[in-house]
Amino acid sequence: MSAVGYPFSAIVGLADLRLALLLNAVSPAIGGVLVRGEKGTAKSTMVRALAALLPEVDVVAGCRFACDPAQPDPACPDGPHEASAPYETRRARLVELPVGATEDRLVGSLDLERALTEGVKAYEPGLLAAAHRGVLYVDEVNLLHDHLVDLLLDAAAMGTCHVEREGVSVRHAARFLLVGTMNPEEGELRPQLLDRFGLTVEVRASRDPGERAEVVRRRLAYEADPAGFAARWREADEELARRIADARALLPRVELPDTELERIARVCAAFEVDGLRADLVTARAAIALAAWHGRDRVTADDVRQAALLALPHRRRRNPFDAPGLDPETLDEALGEPDPDPEPPAGGPGGQDGDRAEGSADHSADHSADHSADHSVEQGADHGAEQGAEPPPGPGAAEQAPVKPGEPFRARLLSVPGVGSGRAGRRSRAETSYGRTVRARRPVQPVTRLHLTGTLRAAAPHQVARGRAPGGGLVLRREDLREAVREGREGNLVLFVVDASGSMGARQRMRAVKGAVLSLLLDAYQRRDKVGLVTFRGSGAEIVLQPTSSVDVAAARLETLPTGGRTPLAAGLLTAHKVLYHEHLRDPRRRPLLVVVTDGRATHGPDPVGEARRAARLLAARRVAGVVVDCETGPVRLGLAQRLAADLGALALRLDELAADALAGLVRGIKDPRDSRRAA
């Protein structure tokens, strides 16, 4: 591939992303940009092209931390730098942080052998040091481990990087323009992390054939002659670079009037955003907008445009809510009339605009719908209490999807033992961070030294090695011990949901969906991978293959139809197949099976026997699980309890899933062997 980058000015469309990147180039204090969008929309291309537009920087010659010779960092590990130190001028760097990076690669690492044997702080800078006074780009930031994202965003917010390794402390400046890209289909960022990005932009490919053709035409021209293509756009890129430099020079002189500051406060209060970071970011973005347009005073238009970029991702009240702003609420908070009664389909803050659709018919149909729902629920619940399947006809046929009930904070369900899977927040696991639990001989270069273990290993050999009285400890490579740390891992949570007629009472199915949605919210927060299997009628269906995109599972759950017989065995066998294939793909990720059912099995020549054999097949694979008993009514058959015994799983009633329910109950999942002995 040619080293010539794609010109920024040659990129077609993506006006919102272009503006957000340029504003951060003018004022890095805004806090960076998070770019959300579908794959193949030139997100990465535009971010990489931005680096060529940034003004050149003066750096102290030989400084690995890019210190500014005019204001060198007094705590620079390569310093202190003299006022007359030689310097050099170079381009601002674009540093890319790969998804698979380690903590040491991000913040830097210490040569622990030299630190112990020679008594020197031999520090190797990481990517944060390389990105100082440049751009740090994280592609697929939603797939980055949480502890790395925390370190990254802390450094971006504080402008410094702290490295602590076994009593040795290093601090250096780390101010950079942070840009992250992500595809929401592959999983969302936690709301706490979303809030740390200054601006957010939604991008999607143009649907205009002419614009799409122009994109392809330019890309093909670039691939045929990268240098010639870049030369044709050089003048336009140089003009953008001049505008960025001029705007940076004007930025300190831009005035934010009190009227516009109060307008910003009204907008942020109207959208009920948490904290004051939104107000600060909106103010900084409005000031940068004024400077970008060559004005020395912020206007109401600047505030509006800044709000559209700074607020959509901060008003999510639920992790599954789509980012966006209601244009009418925005105009009301700004104190302006609605300029467009039809909300735009795209761009920052765009929404579907269908909230009011059908509202005129709602009151007319409400009474009839309520009556129909009540009769269905009453009839289905009566049959469920008697342990009978609904009779043929409308009661047994497929019913319209039921909306989930209100979600709640779910209790922690964890896999027994200690794993070694991808970092997360559910089950115990050996990780690269967390509390130190023991020492062991290293299997690779030591990055996490266990100091006490190392000293214990070296102590018996000091006389043989000729250590003089009062002299230093004589260490050798074989003495080194690394620390084993224990943290939490993310699991594969596979939901197997009974959607049959025996579960079809609308009120009960609403509660079941609300419970599953609560468990999905919990999986989202604990960084799990999730899958969804449903069974009804004559078979089972994989509604969602295991994925990190928990919000997709929530969407599928909401539209889940119900009705028909109960093929419990088919649901369990399908779950077994899914878990088998996932184990081949990722053997280190441990599964957690969540079966949501009342325990009935009514389909097949021997429905109960087939279900028990399928359950024991899963138990033989030592799959940790929980059975959520959805049986209701005064007469309970206890079928879900029997299923849990066959699975070697923990059995919980639907009302025991909440975190504050039955606090005395054991929260973790028991070892399957214990459950079988109890049964």
Is 218 part of the annotated catalytic residue set?
no
Cα separation, 372 vs 380, whole angstroms? 12
Contact at 8 Å (CB) between 529 and 550? Answer: no
Find tokens 């934010």 and name the residue: 256
Cα separation, 169 vs 274, whole angstroms? 34
Contacts of residue 195, Cβ cutoff 8 Å, sequence gap at least 6: 274, 275, 277, 278, 313, 314
- The CA-CA-CA angle for residues 597, 601, 607, to 5°, reads 150
Contact at 8 Å (CB) between 591 and 626? Answer: no
Backbone φ and ψ of 203, nearest 5°? -125, 145
Cα separation, 24 vs 204, whole angstroms? 21
Contact at 8 Å (CB) between 423 and 431? Answer: yes
Tokens, residue 42: 């030139």
The secondary element (H helix, E strand) that includes residue 201 is strand 199-203
Alpha helices in 28-122 (DSSP H): 43-50, 103-107, 112-117
Tokens, residue 536: 């009804």
Cα separation, 99 vs 392, whole angstroms? 53
Query: Which of 190, 277, 613, 636 is an active site residue?
Result: 277
Alpha helices in 271-334 (DSSP H): 277-292, 300-310, 327-334
What's the longest Cα–Cα distance across the chain? 96
Q: Please name which of 528, 411, 423 lies closest in space to residue 486, comparing C-alpha atoms.
A: 423
Contact at 8 Å (CB) between 173 and 156? Answer: no
Q: State the DSSP code for 195.
A: T
Cα separation, 61 vs 68, whole angstroms? 10
Residues identified as active-site:
277
